[in-house]
Amino acid sequence: MRIIKSEDKALFELLQGRTADLEKVENVVKDIISSVRDGGDDQLCAITARFDGTALTPSDLVVSEAEIKAAYQKVNDSFLAALRVAAQNIRSYHSRQLHNSWIDPQPDGTLLGQLITPLSRVGIYVPGGKAAYPSSVLMNAIPAAVAGVQQIVMVTPPDRRGAVNPHTLVAAAEAGVTEIYRVGGAQAVAALAYGTETVARVDKIVGPGNIYVTAAKRQVFGAVDIDMLAGPSEVLIVADDSARPEFVAADMLSQAEHDELASSILVTPFAELAEQVQQQITRQLAQINRRNVAEKSINERGAMIITATLDEAVKVANSFAPEHLELLVADPYRWLGSVNNAGAVFLGHFSPEPVGDYLAGPNHVLPTGGTARFFSPLNVDTFMKKTSLIGYSARALARDGEHILTLADTEGLDAHAASVRCRLAVLANGMDNSETTE
């Protein structure tokens, strides 16, 4: 693993080299989206057969209630118990994010306010195929359900036999998903965005996927809303001499096993700790199933950054704006106030990142690639929309009318001014206020 000093040019290159190159698949994705938009279910199935090797007909797309019930017989009790604890924690955490509509009436009859209402129909993308990610189902669907979304539509790639993993199906049922379709990739995003004969279009698409899914979300944005453009996963660990090397190494590898493009970064002023972590990584790599993936990630995307002080280490973390930030230091709460940019912060030696991935309650759909500078984790607000309320009385319009006319005239918008001026003329003629507020 690379060891970089904080003043090295390599640190800048590391900070800049984390975004996915969506342009290299842009044309392929554009063709897929166009085909599904024009060809509906038939093209949805044809593209799935071509790219995923799964033969489907339009009648196969919908996952039936019988399949969901059967899935419960295929999972064990310990999984179901763990899933339900996680779901309850996620539901409880996100319930605290709810906001109420508000109205602020004034003595002069003016009424201003804001309606906060859920989206009607959202689509959640859950990776699938050979793997199962029930935690992603919970993290995407439960905030939508808490927000009050009535139609929560899940798309997920089936295996080559056309089956959806039973753990994924059980998670969907527990989380409140109302429709499930066995399709993935850019074609699933296109179906959600534009609709087909079987899949009705949605208002918003959320959830992580591969580079084709991410590129498709970017291309359909505007026809629908999206949550964010997710890139390869990342963890940055700020550690002092109280950190245990085996903990640090384990946390770095837990991120590296996700993806060969994942980034695992240690930032510390203690060079001896970095050396010990390096030894632990070599030892622990031999013990994990996804060794080849993790080893390539660690070697090509991992790094250890040596700083002069812990304060400098936190500044490097803010520059990186990581998806996951671990503060493996003696007093993590002392440093929390210095953290400006992170998707999620894990405080102390016994708060490893997998706690957040699975069970704690905060969402694990987080901004990557430095976008934590301006993006937030998936949350209840992701599934809400806000509508402004404006109610002016005759008295209020009489008071503010000339200011409105001045601004409209300045912008050269005569009709804007006229719509106010005609009302001011009525008021000047003495029409009763009660009539003008009806």
Q: Which of 174, 179, 257, 323 is catalytic?
A: 323
| Lookup result for tokens 């809303």 | 225
HSE of 14, CA atoms in CB hemisphere, 13 A: 32
Work out the number of other CB atoms within 10 angstroms of the CB of residue 82.
15
Respond yes or no: is residue 23 known to be catalytic.
Answer: no
Respond yes or no: is residue 416 known to be catalytic.
Answer: no
Q: Which of 94, 167, 258, 324 is catalytic?
A: 324
Rounded CA gap, 155 and 134, in Å? 13
Instruction: Tokens for 40, please give them.
Output: 């509906």
Rounded CA gap, 397 and 24, in Å? 55
Q: Is residue 328 a contact partner of residue 247, using CB atoms and an 8 Å limit?
A: yes
Residues involved in catalysis: 323-324
